[in-house]
Structure 1
Amino acid sequence: MTDPHLRATISQKAALFEPEGDVLVLRTDDESWELPGGRIERGEVTEDALRREIREETGLDAEVGWPVYTAAWQNHDDDGRYSVVYRCHVESRVVTLSDEHVEAVWCSPGATEERLNEAQRIGVERAAEIDGR
Protein backbone atom coordinates (compact mmCIF):
# COMPACT_ATOMS: atom_id res chain seq x y z
CA MET A 1 0.00 0.00 0.00
CA THR A 2 1.27 3.49 -0.78
CA ASP A 3 0.52 6.71 1.01
CA PRO A 4 -1.46 9.33 -0.90
CA HIS A 5 0.61 11.95 -2.65
CA LEU A 6 0.83 15.42 -1.15
CA ARG A 7 -1.13 17.92 -3.22
CA ALA A 8 0.49 21.22 -2.45
CA THR A 9 0.62 24.91 -3.24
CA ILE A 10 4.18 25.76 -4.33
CA SER A 11 5.89 28.95 -3.22
CA GLN A 12 9.39 30.38 -3.43
CA LYS A 13 11.13 32.45 -0.79
CA ALA A 14 14.27 34.58 -0.90
CA ALA A 15 16.98 34.51 1.74
CA LEU A 16 17.76 38.04 0.54
CA PHE A 17 21.17 39.35 1.64
CA GLU A 18 22.48 42.89 1.37
CA PRO A 19 26.22 43.67 0.98
CA GLU A 20 27.00 43.65 4.73
CA GLY A 21 25.37 40.23 5.23
CA ASP A 22 22.02 41.17 6.79
CA VAL A 23 18.92 39.38 5.56
CA LEU A 24 15.48 40.90 4.93
CA VAL A 25 12.38 39.75 6.81
CA LEU A 26 8.88 41.12 6.28
CA ARG A 27 5.96 41.35 8.71
CA THR A 28 2.39 40.76 7.59
CA ASP A 29 -0.57 42.54 9.15
CA ASP A 30 -1.38 39.40 11.17
CA GLU A 31 1.93 39.85 13.03
CA SER A 32 3.74 36.94 11.35
CA TRP A 33 7.16 37.29 9.71
CA GLU A 34 8.34 35.81 6.45
CA LEU A 35 10.96 36.02 3.75
CA PRO A 36 10.08 37.85 0.53
CA GLY A 37 8.61 35.66 -2.18
CA GLY A 38 5.43 34.01 -3.37
CA ARG A 39 3.81 31.78 -5.93
CA ILE A 40 4.84 31.02 -9.48
CA GLU A 41 2.42 32.12 -12.18
CA ARG A 42 1.53 29.71 -14.97
CA GLY A 43 4.28 29.67 -17.60
CA GLU A 44 6.83 31.63 -15.52
CA VAL A 45 10.46 30.60 -15.18
CA THR A 46 11.04 29.97 -11.47
CA GLU A 47 13.89 32.48 -11.02
CA ASP A 48 11.94 35.14 -12.93
CA ALA A 49 8.90 34.51 -10.72
CA LEU A 50 10.96 34.97 -7.55
CA ARG A 51 12.62 38.10 -8.92
CA ARG A 52 9.14 39.48 -9.74
CA GLU A 53 7.80 38.67 -6.27
CA ILE A 54 10.80 40.35 -4.59
CA ARG A 55 10.32 43.46 -6.74
CA GLU A 56 6.55 43.57 -6.09
CA GLU A 57 6.91 43.13 -2.32
CA THR A 58 10.02 45.24 -1.67
CA GLY A 59 10.84 47.36 -4.72
CA LEU A 60 14.29 45.72 -4.81
CA ASP A 61 15.98 44.24 -7.88
CA ALA A 62 17.58 41.01 -6.73
CA GLU A 63 20.13 38.60 -8.08
CA VAL A 64 18.51 35.18 -7.64
CA GLY A 65 21.01 32.46 -6.81
CA TRP A 66 20.67 28.75 -6.13
CA PRO A 67 17.99 26.98 -4.11
CA VAL A 68 19.32 26.17 -0.65
CA TYR A 69 16.39 24.45 1.08
CA THR A 70 13.03 22.84 0.36
CA ALA A 71 10.25 21.84 2.72
CA ALA A 72 6.84 20.17 2.43
CA TRP A 73 4.12 20.23 5.11
CA GLN A 74 0.41 20.49 5.75
CA ASN A 75 -0.89 23.68 7.36
CA HIS A 76 -3.47 23.98 10.13
CA ASP A 77 -6.28 23.70 7.51
CA ASP A 78 -4.73 20.41 6.27
CA ASP A 79 -3.70 22.07 2.98
CA GLY A 80 -0.44 20.88 1.42
CA ARG A 81 2.43 23.36 1.09
CA TYR A 82 5.81 23.07 -0.64
CA SER A 83 8.39 25.83 -0.48
CA VAL A 84 11.82 26.44 -1.99
CA VAL A 85 14.22 28.96 -0.40
CA TYR A 86 16.77 30.58 -2.72
CA ARG A 87 19.96 32.43 -1.82
CA CYS A 88 19.58 35.95 -3.23
CA HIS A 89 21.49 39.26 -3.13
CA VAL A 90 20.70 42.95 -3.49
CA GLU A 91 22.94 46.00 -3.51
CA SER A 92 20.46 48.34 -1.83
CA ARG A 93 18.78 48.31 1.60
CA VAL A 94 16.05 50.76 0.54
CA VAL A 95 12.77 48.85 0.75
CA THR A 96 9.45 50.05 -0.65
CA LEU A 97 6.79 47.77 0.82
CA SER A 98 3.70 46.63 -1.05
CA ASP A 99 0.38 46.42 0.75
CA GLU A 100 1.10 42.74 1.54
CA HIS A 101 3.42 43.71 4.41
CA VAL A 102 3.51 46.33 7.13
CA GLU A 103 7.18 46.25 8.16
CA ALA A 104 10.58 45.34 6.75
CA VAL A 105 13.63 44.62 8.91
CA TRP A 106 17.22 43.90 7.89
CA CYS A 107 18.80 41.68 10.54
CA SER A 108 21.64 39.25 11.01
CA PRO A 109 20.91 35.68 9.89
CA GLY A 110 20.97 34.55 13.53
CA ALA A 111 18.31 37.09 14.51
CA THR A 112 15.80 35.50 12.13
CA GLU A 113 15.32 32.66 14.64
CA GLU A 114 13.01 34.91 16.64
CA ARG A 115 10.82 35.73 13.65
CA LEU A 116 10.69 33.04 10.96
CA ASN A 117 9.13 29.58 10.87
CA GLU A 118 11.43 26.57 10.92
CA ALA A 119 11.61 26.01 7.14
CA GLN A 120 12.50 29.64 6.43
CA ARG A 121 15.03 29.77 9.32
CA ILE A 122 16.80 26.71 7.96
CA GLY A 123 16.82 28.28 4.49
CA VAL A 124 18.47 31.43 5.88
CA GLU A 125 21.02 29.35 7.83
CA ARG A 126 21.97 27.35 4.75
CA ALA A 127 22.19 30.45 2.57
CA ALA A 128 24.40 32.16 5.17
CA GLU A 129 26.69 29.12 5.32
CA ILE A 130 27.14 29.21 1.56
CA ASP A 131 28.05 32.89 1.78
CA GLY A 132 30.46 32.14 4.64
CA ARG A 133 28.56 34.44 7.02
Structure 2
Amino acid sequence: MSDEHLQATISQKAALFGPDGDLLLLSRAATAGWELPGGRIGTTEDVVPGLRREVREETGLDVAVEEPVYTDAWSTEDGEGRYAVVYRCSTDDCAVSPSDEHDDWRWVAPDVAVEDVLSTPRLRTAVERAAERRAVVR
Protein backbone atom coordinates (compact mmCIF):
# COMPACT_ATOMS: atom_id res chain seq x y z
CA MET A 1 0.00 0.00 0.00
CA SER A 2 1.37 3.38 -1.00
CA ASP A 3 1.39 6.40 1.28
CA GLU A 4 0.81 8.54 -1.79
CA HIS A 5 -2.77 9.74 -2.27
CA LEU A 6 -4.47 9.27 -5.60
CA GLN A 7 -4.87 12.51 -7.53
CA ALA A 8 -7.65 11.70 -9.94
CA THR A 9 -10.44 12.93 -12.15
CA ILE A 10 -13.68 11.46 -10.79
CA SER A 11 -16.39 10.31 -13.15
CA GLN A 12 -19.74 8.69 -12.63
CA LYS A 13 -21.47 6.45 -15.11
CA ALA A 14 -24.99 5.07 -15.28
CA ALA A 15 -25.70 1.46 -16.13
CA LEU A 16 -29.11 2.69 -17.27
CA PHE A 17 -31.94 0.22 -17.67
CA GLY A 18 -35.10 1.14 -19.56
CA PRO A 19 -38.68 0.01 -18.98
CA ASP A 20 -38.10 -3.28 -20.86
CA GLY A 21 -34.87 -4.12 -19.02
CA ASP A 22 -32.57 -3.11 -21.88
CA LEU A 23 -29.38 -1.15 -21.27
CA LEU A 24 -28.64 2.22 -22.88
CA LEU A 25 -25.31 2.60 -24.68
CA LEU A 26 -23.93 5.74 -26.29
CA SER A 27 -21.38 6.04 -29.07
CA ARG A 28 -18.80 8.79 -29.37
CA ALA A 29 -17.14 9.00 -32.78
CA ALA A 30 -13.87 10.18 -31.24
CA THR A 31 -13.47 6.98 -29.24
CA ALA A 32 -14.97 4.60 -31.80
CA GLY A 33 -16.71 2.59 -29.12
CA TRP A 34 -19.80 2.26 -26.99
CA GLU A 35 -20.01 3.64 -23.46
CA LEU A 36 -22.37 4.24 -20.58
CA PRO A 37 -23.90 7.68 -20.08
CA GLY A 38 -22.36 9.90 -17.41
CA GLY A 39 -19.38 12.09 -16.81
CA ARG A 40 -17.43 14.17 -14.33
CA ILE A 41 -18.97 15.72 -11.26
CA GLY A 42 -18.28 19.30 -10.29
CA THR A 43 -16.14 20.05 -7.23
CA THR A 44 -19.14 21.42 -5.30
CA GLU A 45 -21.74 19.07 -6.75
CA ASP A 46 -23.49 16.33 -4.80
CA VAL A 47 -23.04 12.85 -6.21
CA VAL A 48 -26.59 11.78 -7.10
CA PRO A 49 -27.75 15.13 -8.53
CA GLY A 50 -24.47 15.30 -10.47
CA LEU A 51 -25.08 11.93 -12.09
CA ARG A 52 -28.70 12.82 -12.87
CA ARG A 53 -27.50 16.06 -14.48
CA GLU A 54 -24.89 14.28 -16.61
CA VAL A 55 -27.36 11.64 -17.82
CA ARG A 56 -30.01 14.27 -18.59
CA GLU A 57 -27.46 16.38 -20.54
CA GLU A 58 -26.27 13.38 -22.57
CA THR A 59 -29.60 11.62 -23.15
CA GLY A 60 -32.51 13.89 -22.25
CA LEU A 61 -33.70 11.22 -19.80
CA ASP A 62 -34.61 11.59 -16.13
CA VAL A 63 -33.32 8.64 -14.13
CA ALA A 64 -33.64 7.01 -10.74
CA VAL A 65 -30.16 6.51 -9.31
CA GLU A 66 -29.89 3.25 -7.43
CA GLU A 67 -26.88 1.58 -5.81
CA PRO A 68 -23.25 1.85 -6.91
CA VAL A 69 -22.29 -1.42 -8.61
CA TYR A 70 -18.68 -0.85 -9.61
CA THR A 71 -15.69 1.30 -8.71
CA ASP A 72 -12.21 1.43 -10.14
CA ALA A 73 -9.06 3.55 -10.02
CA TRP A 74 -6.30 3.60 -12.64
CA SER A 75 -3.78 5.79 -14.41
CA THR A 76 -3.93 6.71 -18.07
CA GLU A 77 -1.00 6.23 -20.42
CA ASP A 78 -0.13 9.86 -19.65
CA GLY A 79 0.01 9.11 -15.92
CA GLU A 80 -3.25 10.92 -15.10
CA GLY A 81 -5.29 9.41 -12.28
CA ARG A 82 -8.84 8.29 -12.90
CA TYR A 83 -11.50 7.12 -10.48
CA ALA A 84 -14.91 5.95 -11.68
CA VAL A 85 -18.11 4.87 -10.01
CA VAL A 86 -20.88 3.13 -11.95
CA TYR A 87 -24.39 3.23 -10.53
CA ARG A 88 -27.34 1.09 -11.48
CA CYS A 89 -30.00 3.48 -12.78
CA SER A 90 -33.43 3.11 -14.29
CA THR A 91 -35.90 5.13 -16.32
CA ASP A 92 -39.50 4.72 -17.45
CA ASP A 93 -38.76 6.50 -20.73
CA CYS A 94 -36.85 5.19 -23.74
CA ALA A 95 -36.99 8.27 -26.03
CA VAL A 96 -33.34 9.32 -26.10
CA SER A 97 -32.28 12.81 -27.20
CA PRO A 98 -28.49 12.50 -27.41
CA SER A 99 -26.22 15.48 -26.87
CA ASP A 100 -23.71 16.68 -29.44
CA GLU A 101 -21.05 14.63 -27.62
CA HIS A 102 -22.48 11.41 -29.00
CA ASP A 103 -23.22 10.33 -32.53
CA ASP A 104 -25.37 7.27 -31.85
CA TRP A 105 -27.25 5.41 -29.14
CA ARG A 106 -29.03 2.13 -28.69
CA TRP A 107 -30.88 0.03 -26.16
CA VAL A 108 -29.53 -3.54 -25.94
CA ALA A 109 -30.02 -6.55 -23.73
CA PRO A 110 -27.42 -6.52 -20.93
CA ASP A 111 -25.96 -9.87 -21.98
CA VAL A 112 -25.54 -8.62 -25.57
CA ALA A 113 -23.75 -5.52 -24.26
CA VAL A 114 -21.35 -7.67 -22.22
CA GLU A 115 -20.71 -10.32 -24.88
CA ASP A 116 -20.77 -8.38 -28.14
CA VAL A 117 -20.69 -4.61 -27.71
CA LEU A 118 -18.61 -3.28 -24.83
CA SER A 119 -14.88 -3.44 -25.40
CA THR A 120 -13.42 -2.78 -21.95
CA PRO A 121 -13.36 -5.23 -19.05
CA ARG A 122 -14.33 -2.39 -16.68
CA LEU A 123 -17.59 -1.69 -18.49
CA ARG A 124 -18.41 -5.36 -18.98
CA THR A 125 -17.95 -6.04 -15.27
CA ALA A 126 -20.00 -2.98 -14.29
CA VAL A 127 -22.90 -4.03 -16.53
CA GLU A 128 -22.81 -7.63 -15.26
CA ARG A 129 -22.95 -6.38 -11.66
CA ALA A 130 -25.74 -3.90 -12.46
CA ALA A 131 -27.83 -6.56 -14.22
CA GLU A 132 -27.44 -8.82 -11.20
CA ARG A 133 -28.10 -5.90 -8.79
CA ARG A 134 -24.83 -6.60 -6.98
CA ALA A 135 -23.98 -3.46 -5.05
CA VAL A 136 -20.41 -2.48 -4.22
CA VAL A 137 -19.40 -3.90 -0.84
CA ARG A 138 -19.02 -1.08 1.66
TM-score by length of 1: 0.91
CA displacement 1:30-88 (0-9 Å, x = unmatched) = 21221000011121110000000000000000011111110111122221110000000
2:6 equivalent in structure 1: 6
1:124 equivalent in structure 2: 127
2:18 equivalent in structure 1: 18
Identity of aligned residues (%): 53
Alignment of 1:1-133 (within 5 A): 2=2, 4-30=4-30, 31-113=32-114, 114-130=117-133
Give the Cα–Cα distance (whole angstroms) in 2 for the partners of residues 111 and 77 of structure 1. Answer: 32
Q: CA deviation at 1:112?
A: 1.6
Aligned length: 131
RMSD between aligned residues: 1.6
Give the Cα–Cα distance (whole angstroms) in 2 for the partners of residues 79 and 32 of structure 1. Answer: 21
Secondary structure of residue in 2 paired with 1:60 = coil
| 1:95 counterpart letter in structure 2 | V
Tell me whether 111-120 or 44-53 shows the greater mean CA deviation: 111-120
Q: Following TM superposition, where does structure 1 have runs of at least 4 consecutive aligned residues deviating by more than 4 angstroms?
A: none
Q: CA deviation at 1:4?
A: 3.1
What stretches of structure 1 of length at least 5 have no aligned partner? none
Secondary structure of residue in 2 paired with 1:120 = helix
